[in-house]
Chain A
Amino acid sequence: MASQTGGYYLPAPSHWPIVGSVALLLMALGGTFMINGVGGGWLLWVGLAILTVMLFGWFGTVIRESEGGKHNKQVDLSFRWAMSWFIFSEVMFFAAFFGALFYMRVLSVPWLGSGDTLEQLWSGFNATWPTAGPGLEADGYKFTPMGAWGIPAINTLLLLTSGATVTWAHWGLKKGNRSQLVLGLFLTVALGLAFLSLQVYEYMHAYSELGLTLGAGAYGATFFMLTGFHGFHVTVGTLMLIVILGRSIKGHFTAEHHFGFEGVAWYWHFVDVVWLGLFIFVYWLV
């Protein structure tokens, strides 16, 4: 594992990183100005456009290098290590929000509903989950929590199925069956888009009919933060799958050399596993 096979591909100087840095600066400034309503929020969109150009350019370069045969076994292994550690960092990002959810459910909400805190602050508070919290409930805030067995259950089925279709596509790639690869990826993308459409519908339903918003206290904040960041990751994963689908149609990847495909599949499975955690702890066990 440690031994060098020689000829590790070292890229020439590249302007894409600094383009990305300019994009991030504009996005941070634009985002700050936008949420404070002081004008200049358009910088966010300029930054995002530059970032998009950068992503196309940078990934395009890597794809050309890969197809040009510049990635030997050692480079391939580097990609595998890097993607594994990146997914680990994503796990820890979600862990922060799951941690917040468990802290509120197990500690802070029960504390607010017991002992001196209950007597001295909001004495009528009934500390049961789901809650919008004692202060909001005392002000008459009401919401209905999202049920588990409607759209969320369908979405669970969709994502689990998409995990199967992407694996089926991988089998096709490994035995050289290009049409199975393309069909499997197409189905995976379709399932991802169906998931996202249903989630958009669910959010509209929550806001317009259930009174369930970002402002709905502990439940609303954790609900939208967890499902929102998950939905964002499904969006990114779907975009990545679309790129891989396009590359598969163009004839990229071989049965032996296809980490671009595998990395995206790993990411997709990770998104799937996070969803299972969400389904259990956000939707089901309320």
Chain B
Amino acid sequence: MAHDAAHAHDAGDHGGHHGHPTGIMRWLTTTNHKDIGSLYLWFAGIMFLVAGSMALIIRAELFQPGLQVVNPDFFNQMTTLHGLIMVFGVIMPAWAGFANWQIPLMIGAPDMAFPRMNNWGFWVLPVAGALLIISLFMPGGGVAGGWTMYPPLFIQGGISYDMTIFAVHILGASSIMGSINIITTILNMRAPGMTLMKMPLFVWTWLITAYLLIATVPVLAGAVTMLLTDRNFDTHFFNAAGGGDPVMFQHIFWFFGHPEVYILILPAFGVVSQIIPTFARKPLFGYASMVYATASIAILSFIVWAHHMFTVGMPAAAQLFFMYSTMLIAVPTGVKVFNWVATMWKGSMTFETPMLFSVAFVCLFTIGGFSGLVCAMTPVDIQIHDTYYVVAHFHYVLVSGALFAIIAGVYYWLPKWTGHMYDEKLGKWHFWLSTISMNITFFPMHFLGLAGMPRRYADYALQFAEFNAIASVGAFIFGASQLIFLWVILKAIRGGNKATDQVWEGAEGLEWTVPSPAPYHTFETAPVVK
């Protein structure tokens, strides 16, 4: 975005190198963290529209009972791909985009530690995305086994299922490359004086997120590899006739899957912890406790996985263990929520769009956290497992949690990236429409789930009609509201009021000491942090 001016001067900086390619080749071959950050963010944005359209197909079908819009098999393909793409193609790449843009700027590094691997970590993503979308057109139809890929159903599908497995392998390779790069950058590229406990919280949360990724993504790779061999090479990992167990897949998958949930949300905690102090004009309350809470959440995430599978049958002692360990996570999460509230307490607050989304994050993510506690209780979960209550729960933490934090972060740093202030009026429209419609969409799902409506069905009993109609209306308003977001971003790239270096009155940190837009190369000489 808009570094063409900065681009021209930098040929001189690297006199020894051949000239930088332009046009499409610039983006294909780039080794610049800002270019790669922009690529990640655009990819996430485009995939957000793709997977969001899939969600709207789901909501269109569910607007009324009966089958009106799509057939049940296509409905299942939509729920599967909506989940896979939103998790692996939207939220994760968006956070990788923030990491690329912001971490070098926030720790005073000239770039990421491995600029070429950084490029590859991004450019394998479109390959995986293409495989997932091509799979829809394979004989036998797209993958329809749910994003969790449970056998035996997943073993019975057609060609698209193998394609999805390879796509997951490639997505994993991207995550590993990105994470190794981020950890190395944070551990080895900090400016003099930038000690660990002086790092901005966004950097801390990404450091811990990258650790979670490296520890769990290879486990997912192993799990889908076993699916692949069970499907094609006669192994019996998930087949009781051979001594295996389909439930074993769930254990291995969720050993990855629960830390994955925190991979999606920890960077959100980081972004909100940057934004709230800026607009409350107070330092973050309890910085050290925020760091320790993040680490605690990460460690606990490895010992809670079976709360996703309370109904598959397991010993009572295991159910008790996973129930209590899950509830324990509420403690460090509570520390964070109280710290954000305490940061705002008696602050000189203003409510620009990034702050609005962050305040909404604190309120609405907490609702998702509370419904998570409800789900954590084994006897309750046995009633609401695989119902819309669970759908409501994880959309509160992923839409009004992870996604709202991404949106807040984009508004917060857009002036630094483009050099222009975004349109505040349109931003506020975007905020109010999104927040209201998000609640119209997902709040009724709590009632649907408690009343017993199961998830992942194209049809439902008449008694669920009203709340489903309300949720569908909300979903279409939410979807349309995101077009405002796209428009605001494009408008800010093309022009607008010039942003100052500082951008926000209360902002602190190294990224606000460089010009807006940030030049193509920053901190070639390391700043000294006091």
State whether A221 touches B218 (Cβ < 8 A). no
Contacts of A38 in B (CB 8 A): 139, 159
In this complex, which of A38, A107, A213, A218 has the most chain B Cβ atoms within 10 angstroms of its Cβ?
A218
User: Is A132 an interface position by the 8 A CB rule?
Assistant: yes
Contact status B17-A4, CB under 8 Å: no
In the assembled complex, B306 has its CB within 8 A of some CB on chain A:
no
User: Which single member of B25, B159, B170, B245 contacts A108 (CB below 8 Å)?
Assistant: B245
* Known contacts A10-B31, A20-B120, A214-B229; A135 and B240 CB within 8 A of each other: yes
Contact in complex: B243, A4 (CB < 8 Å): no
Quick one: which of A1-46 are within 8 Å of B by CB?
1-4, 6, 8, 10-18, 20-21, 24-25, 28-29, 31-33, 35-36, 38
| B241:A135 contact, CB within 8 angstroms | yes
If the complex has contacts A32-B162, A225-B226, are A100 and B131 also in contact, measured as CB distance less than 8 A?
no
Q: Give B226 Cβ to nearest chain A Cβ, in Å.
A: 7
Is A184 at the interface (CB under 8 A from chain B)? no
Q: Which residue of A lies closest to B237 (CB)?
A: A221
Q: Which residues of A contact B176 (CB under 8 A)?
A: 86, 89
Residues from chain A with a CB closer than 8 A to the CB of B236 are: 133, 136, 215, 217-218, 220-221
Determine the distance from Cα of A121 to Cα of B241 in the docked complex, in whole angstroms.
9
The interface bits of chain A over 74-106 (1 if a CB of B lies within 8 angstroms of the residue's CB, else 0) are: 100110011001101110111111011001100
How far is A81 from B188 in the complex, measured between Cα atoms in Å? 8
Q: Does B130 contact A (CB under 8 A)?
A: yes
Given A89-B176, A214-B229, verify A133-B244 contact (CB < 8 Å): yes
A185 CB, min distance to chain B CBs, angstroms: 26
The B interface is mostly helix, strand or loop, or mixed, namely helix
- How far does the alpha carbon of A208 sit from the alpha carbon of B251 in the complex, in Å? 35
Q: Which residues of B contact A89 (CB under 8 A)?
A: 176, 180, 214-215, 217-218
- CB contacts (< 8 Å) of B166 on chain A: these are 28, 31-32
Q: Which residues of B contact A36 (CB under 8 A)?
A: 158-159, 162
Q: Considering the complex, which residues of chain B in the window 192-206 have a beta carbon less than 8 Å from any beta carbon of chain A?
A: 192, 194-196
**Could you tell me if A17 and B119 are in contact, using CB atoms closer than 8 angstroms?**
yes
Residues A217 and B242 in contact, CB atoms below 8 Å apart: yes
Shortest distance between the CB of A63 and any CB in chain B (Å): 14
Selected from A2, A16, A134, the residue in CB contact (under 8 A) with B241 is: A134
| B window 139-189: CB within 8 A of A | 139, 158-159, 162-163, 166-167, 169-170, 173, 176, 179-181, 183-184, 187-189
A-binding segment of B70-78, B107-115, B332-340, B418-426: B107-115
B4-23 contacts to A (CB < 8 Å): 14, 17-18, 20-21
**Contact B113–A82 (Cβ < 8 Å):** yes
Closest to B198 in A: A2
B218 touches A90 (CB 8 A): yes
Asked if A225 and B113 make an inter-chain contact with CB atoms under 8 angstroms apart, the answer reads no
How distant is B63 from chain A, measured CB to nearest CB, in Å?
35
What is the CB-to-nearest-CB distance from B154 to chain A, in angstroms, rounded to a whole number? 15
Whether A103 contacts B251 by the Cβ 8 Å rule is yes
Which residues of the other chain, A, contact B446 by a CB distance below 8 angstroms?
Answer: none
Min CB gap B483→A, angstroms: 30
Asked if A96 and B219 make an inter-chain contact with CB atoms under 8 angstroms apart, the answer reads: yes
Q: Is the CB of B114 within 8 A of A78?
A: yes
Instruction: Give the nearest-CB partner of A2 in chain B.
Output: B190
Instruction: Please report the C-alpha to C-alpha distance between residue A15 and residue B119 in the assembled complex, in whole angstroms.
Output: 10
Q: How far is the CB of A78 from chain B (nearest CB, A)?
A: 4
Which residues of chain B have C-beta atoms less than 8 A from A8's C-beta? 110-111, 189
A191 at the binding interface (Cβ < 8 Å): no
Is A166 part of the contact surface with B, judged by Cβ < 8 Å? no
B158 vs chain A, min Cβ distance (A): 8
Which residues of chain B from 211 to 253 have any CB-CB distance to chain A below 8 Å in the complex? 214-219, 221-223, 225-226, 229, 232-237, 239-245, 247-248, 251-252
How near does chain B come to A65, taking the closest CB pair, in angstroms?
Answer: 11
The chain A residue sitting closest to B221, CB to CB, is A93
Chain B CB within 8 A of A189 CB: no
**Contact in complex: B179, A96 (CB < 8 Å):** no
> In the bound complex, do residue A85 and residue B183 qualify as a contact, i.e. CB atoms below 8 Å apart?
yes
With A28-B163, A92-B218 already in contact, the answer to whether A214 and B234 are too (CB < 8 A) is yes
Tell me if B494 is interfacial: C-beta within 8 Å of chain A. Answer: no
Do A104 and B120 touch across chains, with their CB atoms under 8 A apart?
Answer: no
Say yes or no for A58: interface residue by CB 8 A criterion. yes
Q: Cβ of A225: which chain B residues have Cβ within 8 Å of it?
A: 225-226, 229, 235, 237
Given A13-B20, A121-B240, A225-B235, A28:B127 Cβ within 8 A: yes
Taking a contact as CB atoms under 8 Å apart, the answer to whether B241 and A214 are in contact is no
B126, B163, B183: which contacts A81 (Cβ < 8 A)? Answer: B183
Which residue on B lies nearest to A28, using beta carbons?
B166
Taking CB atoms, residues of chain A closer than 8 Å to B21 are 13
| Most A-side CB within 10 Å, residue of B130, B179, B236, B245 | B236
| Bound CA–CA A33/B166 (angstroms) | 12
The interface centre, meaning the residue of A77, A89, A94, A220 with most chain B CB atoms within 10 A of its CB, is A89
A15 in contact with B29 (CB, 8 Å) = yes
A166 to B20, CA, bound (A): 42
Among residues of A, the one whose C-beta sits closest to the C-beta of B192 is: A3
Q: Is the CB of B252 within 8 A of A100?
A: yes
Q: How far is the CB of B485 from chain A (nearest CB, A)?
A: 29
By a CB distance below 8 angstroms, the chain B residues around A103 are 245, 248, 251
Question: Do the beta carbons of B28 and A18 come within 8 Å of each other?
Answer: yes
In the bound assembly, the distance between CA atoms of A11 and B217 in angstroms comes to: 28
Instruction: Chain A residues near B184: list those with CB within 8 A.
Output: 78, 81-82, 85
> Given the complex of chains A and B, what is the CA–CA distance between A109 and B244 in angstroms?
7
Q: Distance (Å) between the CB of B22 and the closest chain A CB?
A: 10
How long is the Cα–Cα vector from A85 to B176 in the complex, in angstroms?
A: 9
Distance from B366 Cβ to chain A, minimum over Cβ atoms (Å): 32
- What chain A residues lie within 8 Å of B512 (beta carbons)? none
Collect the chain A residues with CB atoms within 8 Å of residue B115's CB. Answer: 10-11
Q: Within 8 Å CB of A35, what residues of B?
A: 162, 232
Q: Which residues of B contact A13 (CB under 8 A)?
A: 20-21, 25-26, 29-31
30 A-B pairs with CB atoms under 8 Å apart are A4-B190, A4-B191, A6-B526, A8-B111, A8-B189, A11-B116, A13-B31, A16-B120, A17-B117, A24-B124, A24-B170, A29-B131, A31-B166, A36-B159, A74-B188, A78-B114, A78-B189, A82-B113, A96-B226, A100-B226, A104-B244, A112-B243, A133-B236, A133-B240, A133-B243, A134-B240, A135-B239, A214-B235, A215-B235, A221-B235
Residues of B within 8 A of A (CB): 14, 17-18, 20-21, 25-26, 28-31, 108-111, 113-117, 119-120, 123-124, 126-127, 130-131, 139, 158-159, 162-163, 166-167, 169-170, 173, 176, 179-181, 183-184, 187-192, 194-196, 214-219, 221-223, 225-226, 229, 232-237, 239-245, 247-248, 251-252, 255, 525-526
4 residue pairs, one from A and one from B, having the closest CB atoms:
A135-B241, A96-B222, A133-B243, A218-B243
A11-B115, A96-B218, A134-B241 known, 15 other contacts, Cβ within 8 Å: A2-B190, A4-B190, A8-B111, A8-B189, A10-B111, A14-B119, A28-B127, A29-B131, A81-B188, A90-B218, A92-B215, A92-B219, A133-B240, A213-B234, A221-B229
